[in-house]
Chains A and B, each alone.
Chain A
C-alpha cells in the first residue's frame, strides 16, 4: 500500500495540523479502544470517547473536525494521561487534546455546556496575570462573576478560612511586569 493511501500528510484538516504542530500522526491509531476503556470520563461525560475522536480525525472530513471542536469531550478531558499510558501505538492523546482545546477556544467553537469549565480556566489565568500567583478567594470571586453560580461553595470558604487555608489578600510577586508581558506575548496575543 502506498503512503498516500494512509493520508499521512500536512493539510488543512485537524489531522494535518496535529501532524504539523505536535508531530503526531493520528493514522497510527488502529482503533483498539483501550484509551476509551481506561478513560474515567468516556462512558458518562463524553459525547465522543477518545478512540472515536481519533477515528473522526482520521477521516479528515471538515464536518467531523467541526464536531470535534464543538464537542464536550475535549473540555471534560482531565489530562489524567491514562490513555497514553495504555495506548499500544503510543498515540499521545493528551497532547492532541491540548491542541484541540486551543483550536476550539481560538476559533470560538467551544461547547456551550462546557462554559463553566472554560470560565474556570479563564478566571484562574486572570488571577495569575494580575498577581503572579493563584489566590483562591480571587479565583472563586472571578469565577462566580463569570458563571453567576453565586452560592457555590459558600459553605467551603468559612471552613477553609478557619483551618488557615485561605488568604483574604493576594500575595503578589515582585516582577509583575514581566509576567504581564508573558501573557501579552502568549494568551492575549491577537
Chain B
C-alpha cells in the first residue's frame, strides 16, 4: 500500500520528530509513503494574509505535482499545510474560472482531484484495524487531546470531526490504554501565526491551554500539529512566565504516543528532540 505524503517545511526542520514518528509508524504498519516530487512551501499564514492568488497558487503547484506523480491519496501531517491544501482544493474544485487562472499562474495542469488526509484520518484508515493487537506498552496516563484550530475548521471544507468537541483523537488514545480528559480548550487557538511577531500574545493563549489541561489532571498533551507543538513545547519559558508558575507537562505528537504503545523506541520517535522532557508518570 502506497500513500503520497506532503511533509511541508516544518517537518523537515523544527518538527523533525513529527516526520520521524509518522515514518516510523508507516513502516511499522506496512504503508509506503512517497514524497511529492520537488514540493514547495504551502505559503502558510503569510500568503493568505497578503495575497489570495498566491495563497492558492503555492498549494496548487504542490497538488498538481501530486497528480503528475499519480499520488491520489495524500497525507498531510502538518495541520496548517493540511488546511491550506484542503482550502485550495475545495475552492478550485468549485470555481472553474479561478482554477483556470491558477493553472496559468503555476504553468501546470491541475484537476483538483484526489483525497487529502490529515494524520488522524491516515491512522483511522490504515493503522487502526491492526493497532489494538500490536500494543505492547499501554499508555496508562491521563491525557489532554489538543486539536487546535486548523484540524477541524473550516468545517464546510474539511468535513472531518466536530468543530468544537472532536472525538477522533480520544478514540485512538483510549485504544492505547490512556484516559483522555474532558476539557474546555481542545480546539482553542494557541496563537501560532504570531509566534515570532507577538510572542507575548501567544504565551497568554498557550498558557490558558496548559492551565486547563493541568488543572484537570492531564499528564501529557497530545497534538497533531507542528505549530501547536512548537508553541507549547519550545515557547514554554514564555508560557511559564505568563502563567506565573512552573509547568512541565510534556507535549507529544499523536504518532509518538502510538509509537510508544506499539513498542517503537524513543530515539526513532524523536522524543529526544523535545524541549520539555517526556517523562510520563508510571501509573
Complex contacts, A166 vs chain B, CB 8 Å: 13-14
| Count, A-B residue pairs, CB within 8 A | 160
Minimum Cβ distance to chain B for residue A162 (Å): 10
Complex contacts, B154 vs chain A, CB 8 Å: 81, 84-85, 92, 94
Contact B46 A125 (CB under 8 A): yes
Stretch from B123-131, B168-176, B190-198 at the A interface: B190-198
* Known contacts A167-B13, A173-B38; A125 and B47 CB within 8 A of each other: yes
Complex contacts, B46 vs chain A, CB 8 Å: 120-122, 124-125, 128
**Chain A facing B: main interface SS:** helix
Q: Mark A21-49, 1 if CB is under 8 A from B, else 0.
A: 00000000000000000001100110000
Complex contacts, B58 vs chain A, CB 8 Å: 128, 182
Contact B105 A134 (CB under 8 A): no
* Known contacts A153-B196, A182-B106, A186-B51; A124 and B44 CB within 8 A of each other: yes
* Cβ of B216 under 8 Å from chain A: no
Interface residue tally of chain B, by bracket?
35 or more
Stretch from A2-10, A11-19, A57-65, A98-106 at the B interface: A98-106
* Cβ of B113 under 8 Å from chain A: no
Complex contacts, A119 vs chain B, CB 8 Å: 197
Residues of B within 8 A of A (CB): 9-10, 12-16, 38-41, 43-55, 57-58, 61, 105-107, 149-150, 153-155, 163-164, 187-189, 191-194, 196-199, 201, 204-205, 234, 237, 272-275
- A/B interface sample: 19 pairs, CB < 8 A: A78-B193, A79-B193, A81-B149, A81-B153, A82-B149, A82-B187, A102-B50, A121-B45, A124-B45, A125-B47, A128-B41, A159-B275, A163-B272, A163-B273, A167-B12, A174-B38, A183-B54, A185-B105, A187-B54
